[in-house]
Structure 1
């Protein structure tokens, strides 16, 4: 220290010198506290992202593997509402404390207005950068590891903040009940719609191909499908009379190309069971009766309503070990039948036999050639249109008949909003093939019909 500095210090009054030293210590202490609070802000922000982005099935697996911290993590996630309140209380206390302390520090050197302005914008910028953005980005990339690391500290925070956590936990539940709000935090952060959007994104990014995307979409549609939408209609059912013998049943199976068919007594609304080709052949070759009696090989089957969910139906067919189920309406009339193959096709796509037509043939990006029995929802998804569905019909043929109100002929054209449906093939009374085109300009009326060309 120079003589000049020593003379300067001697000239400063002792009270002023003490104030300068105290101010420097206060500033240094305040900055240290702010740094600690910033770390705590980052801790709470990153904890929220890590804890709530980690799937429950993954937590269960970590517990099963005996991973350190997994049990504490599972305990915290068992009450997600309490966990969220703990994180929010801690984070808000820290951020408010930072703002208050920063205002006090700036007040040592600035006017009151300047101190408030500097603290508000300065702390906000620091919190956004170091207390929110960076920590949350890290937590998203390392959710599992970070959740395990902070689980113990979050449990400690819950104990330290217990009075506030309990108070705000109860208050928020009361407010939610009064406002009729649901505690969405207690439900999954990922919804079915989110997953379906991720599937589309995956296809756009090249992660999955179009066939995989289509199969995944069919899986989601499967749980919302009913028996009536999947069944083979009554008109297409091949069945055998109970009075027939085994040889006649074998011939019927071979001619129809089916290895399993229903057996009816008198009329099709009185189905008594089913027979399988393999069992029929064994009975024919090695049976004791001559001619072989069909009653000996009839197996029981299920009778289900049209509205039965196919997901439940598949589980029931597996449980009962049957390969075919009869679909009946409210009056007990046989409407159709469903096989396990029909249910599998709802997921993997149509399994074509011999020269069977493709259910949907793409002509170009705005035109499809579809079978009449194709579900309307499938066409809407494939072409990005909105053809109506009703309780009376689920297929394209059903839509055509509903709109026409009569039998239709080949070449007739129907227009619904921006979509044109042209009948390409009719067998007797059945619509077999329809060309569906998405028009780029609205038609003048919602529904128009153009007669067949002579």
Structure 2
């Protein structure tokens, strides 16, 4: 077909369409189709923008004086009313689109189809095909331009979309408020009729588990780096732990008796790396307070001043007086003068509550009391904070002490761990599941080995834990000091003399 034949066919089709009833009003109908699709898209974008925009970002824009942000803030405060308005708008636009759009498009496509297919298929069948074409076209426009596209834009640019739609949406809400109120009231009545309470479907309160999942997803998406992800995860786990799980056990406590002399106290403070020492009467079950090494400085300075004043004399009488002075000095010194009150807490106290209590009492050390009233251990403010930020080392911590508290991964994939490592840390690090009956009794991996063996372990004793074998490498008296954890192909069995 040459170009002249194509022009003749177009002229014939246009003439036939005009003879079949094509009117200028159909153009207005087609314009109404695009307008209604646009309105539907506006209300869809408004709904998704309001439910996905960050409240904190809108609050920030309000503080910066952004005019439209205040309207969005109001909408977020009364979210159900505005969402009801968007749903009403979507419903009205969709109904109007079906009422106006399908006939308008059908009137456009029917005349050419009747002209082309009427002699072959019959006029009625050609008109039916025209109705189907019009319905398909309207449906595609409604879904793509009226639903999917505005939803995607609103989700990806929720802040911009919310600021754009808020003023027209607010006007629509004002106009149709009585109708929206009636619909909401009717909906609540129907829900109540079935014995259900009215639910706020657009106010989301995330559980801790959901927040943890969001953190993991944000980390995978690159929004959070590894350290931020670990810190947030530790925050969620913070209140699940108790004082018993983070304390220094009784066997590791370094303390002094209330009868300790000044020189003995200075020697103890010099030998140990701790700045605070518990003071006990007779046994560690009777801790009466805590001393701070800094409180020794005024006493040492006072003694040094007294000695310097007596340096000039060399007589024997004076020497004997100095000896008596030293004895009097020891008698004058009373540890009770520098003892600070001890904060006693039960071993079942949650770490979050412990942190709050220590802040209120301005205490950096607490004595953990067991169910029998004895001392189970001590916990410091550093121990509490390490549950959030990880191990904190100071200038007094040695490399040897660092490795004891950590899990040391070896080149062959095995690990050397301290017997004091908590069971939940072992579970998390190795993907193991500690048997419940053991987890309820013991807190540490060393305690687990002791419980499985049923006796005091010895070096080279082995126990099984899932697909792993635990070998005792070093003992500290009656306590498991170091363990070797190895993955084995088949489950190990308990062994040892």
TM tier relative to shorter chain:
0.7 to 0.9
> 2:45 — aligned with what?
46
Between the aligned partners of 1:419 and 1:105, the Cα distance in structure 2 is 74
Between the aligned partners of 1:220 and 1:211, the Cα distance in structure 2 is 15
> 2:454 — aligned with what?
405
Between the aligned partners of 1:85 and 1:420, the Cα distance in structure 2 is 61
> 2:215 — aligned with what?
196
**Offset from partner CA, 1:349-408 (integer Å, 9 cap, x none):** 223421212511223696433222222332333333333463323332233334333332
Q: Is the 8 A contact 2:219 2:225 kept in 1?
A: no
Q: Is the 8 A contact 2:279 2:289 kept in 1?
A: yes
In the alignment, is residue 425 of structure 1 matched against residue 474 of structure 2? yes
State TM-score, norm by structure 2.
0.75
Aligned length: 431
Between the aligned partners of 2:139 and 2:467, the Cα distance in structure 1 is 51
In the alignment, is residue 305 of structure 1 matched against residue 346 of structure 2? yes
**Offset from partner CA, 1:27-86 (integer Å, 9 cap, x none):** 323222221222222222222332222222222222222221222212211133333333
**Offset from partner CA, 1:123-142 (integer Å, 9 cap, x none):** 44323322333323322332
| 1:298-447 equivalent positions in 2, closer than 5 A | 298-352=339-393, 353-354=397-398, 355-356=400-401, 357=403, 358-363=405-410, 367-388=414-435, 390-438=439-487, 443=491
Q: Is the 8 A contact 1:44 1:87 kept in 2?
A: yes
Q: Is the 8 A contact 2:215 2:229 kept in 1?
A: no
| 1:32-71 equivalent positions in 2, closer than 5 A | 32-71=31-70
> 1:4 — aligned with what?
none
Structure showing greater radius of gyration is 2
Q: Is the 8 A contact 2:281 2:288 kept in 1?
A: yes
- For 2:21, what is the secondary structure of its paired residue? helix
Between the aligned partners of 1:326 and 1:333, the Cα distance in structure 2 is 10
Between the aligned partners of 2:241 and 2:188, the Cα distance in structure 1 is 37
Q: Offset at 1:438? A: 4.6
- For 2:50, what is the secondary structure of its paired residue? helix
Q: Is the 8 A contact 1:81 1:169 kept in 2?
A: no
> 1:187 — aligned with what?
204
> 1:3 — aligned with what?
none
Of Structure 1 and Structure 2, the greater helix share is in 2
Q: Residues 107 and 337 from structure 1, CA distance in 2 versus in 1: closer, same or farther, beyond 3 angstroms?
A: same
Q: Gapped runs of 5+ residues in structure 2? A: 1-11, 111-123, 307-327
Q: Is the 8 A contact 1:366 1:383 kept in 2?
A: no
Q: Offset at 1:278? A: 0.8
- For 2:283, what is the secondary structure of its paired residue? coil
RMSD: 3.4
> 1:20 — aligned with what?
21
Between the aligned partners of 2:413 and 2:429, the Cα distance in structure 1 is 10
Which range moved further: 312-321 or 417-426?
A: 417-426
- For 2:284, what is the secondary structure of its paired residue? coil
Q: Is the 8 A contact 2:38 2:146 kept in 1?
A: yes
Q: Offset at 1:201? A: 0.5
Which range moved further: 85-94 or 281-290?
A: 281-290
> 1:257 — aligned with what?
273
Between the aligned partners of 1:224 and 1:217, the Cα distance in structure 2 is 12
Which range moved further: 86-95 or 168-177?
A: 168-177
- For 1:449, what is the secondary structure of its paired residue? coil
State TM-score, norm by structure 1.
0.82
Q: 1:222 aligns with which of 211, 229, 238?
A: 238
Q: Is the 8 A contact 2:85 2:180 kept in 1?
A: yes
> 2:184 — aligned with what?
169
Between the aligned partners of 2:80 and 2:263, the Cα distance in structure 1 is 68
**Offset from partner CA, 1:159-213 (integer Å, 9 cap, x none):** 23324433443455563884579645312479412333135415xx5x6654554
In the alignment, is residue 234 of structure 1 matched against residue 250 of structure 2? yes
